[in-house]
Structure 1
Amino acid sequence: MTRQQHAASTDQDLARTVKRSKAPAISRAAAVLRLLGKSENPLGVQAIARELGLVPSTCLYVLRALADEELVSFDPDTKRYALEAGVLTLARQWLRRNQFNDLAQPLLDRLAQTFGATMLGVQTMGLDHMIVVAISQSGQSFQLSTQIGSRFPALISATGRCIAAFGDYSEAELEARFSTLRWDEPPTFAEWKQQVSLARTQGFAVDQGNYISGVTVVSAPVWKARGKPSHALVATGIGSALKRSGLPELQDGLVSAARSLSNQLCGDVSADWT
């Protein structure tokens, strides 16, 4: 998926979320903040309203309310809006209370240096999306273009297979979401289901060039409480490079780290893999 494709997909997701929300005022504000957060430049009212499918007057009302709360800034010269520093207060409070990040970061750093991979810690949000909450770069030539706060469709790539494998979702739910995904080299739904079944058996999933051509992604689920996985540890790198550095060893190391982390967060989770 190219950056433009991912951006278009994200914008469509935001618009759908606003449309079906039972609390439209809150979902509109959240959608505006997310859109401004991923935009490289400040945006005007018309551009924001168009991207999110909002009436411009409604969009302006939301923006003014967010500006009053110091979450959005307004430039009177350009008539454009951008995120304000107030969002950092919310993020800082979340990071301070998030046990996953403190425990996962040294594991991600170790795996990144050992295998020359880009390592991610992601938080899963049901079948809606996943969010990158921790990252470690290896210093190798390949660097995944992502950052803290990046959002991806829930069922995409290797992590999506883990979410489907351990999430107890119906086939109808999974197929409906699967049909909206964008891959560089898309698997069929039948192929994907077989890979989901394999992930359930072995405790991790692999995406070999489906999501991004030439790139291998390995993901192992993490539990913060009993039930569905709350997070995942993810390794990403050029497929040929990961093979040279030892893909089976990376898979074993990732699963071991994910289980150790799960045990620290919620106790023995060995039963969740069987």
Structure 2
Amino acid sequence: MADPVTLPTPSPVRKVARAVKDSKAPAITRAAAILRLLGRSERPLGVQAIAKELGLVPSTCLYVLRALAEEELVSFDPDTKRYALEAGVLTLARHWLRRDPFNDLAQPHLDRLAARFGLTMLGVQAVGLDHMIVVAMAQSGSGFQLSTQVGSRFPALISATGRCIAAFGDYPVAELKARFDQLRWDDPPAFGDWMEQLRQTREQGFAVDEGQYIAGATVVSAPVWKGAGRPVHALVAIGIGAALGRELGALQAALVEAAGTLSGQLGGGA
């Protein structure tokens, strides 16, 4: 069985420090960072561990944790002095799931494509040019496994999905360039080449990243519309480039068809 491939993510300390500095509501930014950390941790964490991981002052971290506990978003074990997510976060999640049908509608498409092509499928939601969030996922059970999970966040313009976001978003070139310069790739494209890839994405209705984001991996993405304007979601396929071989064309066609069907189900269209 092949080793899992892990999607690279920016340092949590650098991300939180920059977000707190730029935020007009730093307490909320710190609270969100703590919730995300506890959400991806396999065990409860103490104040010192949380503060160290996120680059926060321990006293400030404790203050935020106590506020989150009061709101029943985190729990505190007085015996171990550690914190974990509390069931209150499920209430927020249920409200969001009822409001956005993308997950339920996308899952059958993801399951079918993952099984047919033997790869990892993701459903992602774009939040402007800030980031994209994995909101649905399917794996084939084959040798290739992608180490990510629902709720993971990545820079909005990275890889094939980023090309879709930029290509169909009608963003100023200067803004795209500033964001592009901050991206981290295994084999980064030149900005001029990337802009040409955006033009191709608009023409063909999907984007491909062949080993530039993750060496050896091919990523194919097709946008999903919920209405007029910029696409909010995308379907993403990730597999070993050499293994896809002749099936790449069939995968592209199947992904575009699934994205088009899903857009219709959501009341949108390109």
TM-score by length of 2: 0.91
Residues 1:65 and 2:67 aligned together: yes
CA RMSD after TM alignment: 2.0
Map 1:51-200; keep pairs closer than 5 Å: 51-200=53-202
Secondary structure of the 1:187 match is coil
Aligned match for 1:6, one of 9, 12, 27: 9
Partner in structure 1 of residue 260 of structure 2: 259
Q: CA 1:174 to 1:51, structure 2 compared with 1: closer, same or farther past 3 Å?
A: farther
Q: CA deviation at 1:4?
A: 9.2
Partner in structure 1 of residue 248 of structure 2: 247
Aligned match for 2:47, one of 39, 45, 48: 45
Figure out how many residues of one structure are paired with residues of the other and give that number. 266
Following the alignment from structure 2 to structure 1, what is the Cα–Cα distance between the partners of residues 179 and 49? 28
Following the alignment from structure 2 to structure 1, what is the Cα–Cα distance between the partners of residues 49 and 78? 16
Verify the 8 A CA contact 1:105 1:135 in the aligned structure 2.
yes
Unaligned runs of 5+ in 1: none
Unaligned runs of 5+ in 2: none
Verify the 8 A CA contact 2:6 2:146 in the aligned structure 1.
no
Verify the 8 A CA contact 2:226 2:267 in the aligned structure 1.
yes
Secondary structure of the 1:266 match is coil
Secondary structure of the 1:224 match is coil
Following the alignment from structure 1 to structure 2, what is the Cα–Cα distance between the partners of residues 173 and 105? 33
Partner in structure 2 of residue 231 of structure 1: 233
The percentage of aligned residue pairs carrying the same residue is 73
Give 2:111's aligned amino acid.
D
Following the alignment from structure 2 to structure 1, what is the Cα–Cα distance between the partners of residues 10 and 83? 19
Q: Which moved more, 1:142-151 or 1:190-199?
A: 190-199
TM-score by length of 1: 0.89
Verify the 8 A CA contact 2:7 2:214 in the aligned structure 1.
no
Q: Deviations over 1:32-89 (max 9, x none)?
A: 1112223344333334334444333222111101011221122334433222232223
Verify the 8 A CA contact 2:127 2:232 in the aligned structure 1.
yes
Partner in structure 2 of residue 34 of structure 1: 36
Give 1:196's aligned amino acid.
L
Bigger helix fraction:
1
Q: Which moved more, 1:63-72 or 1:81-90?
A: 81-90
Q: CA deviation at 1:23?
A: 2.4
Q: Which moved more, 1:29-38 or 1:130-139?
A: 29-38
Verify the 8 A CA contact 2:122 2:137 in the aligned structure 1.
yes
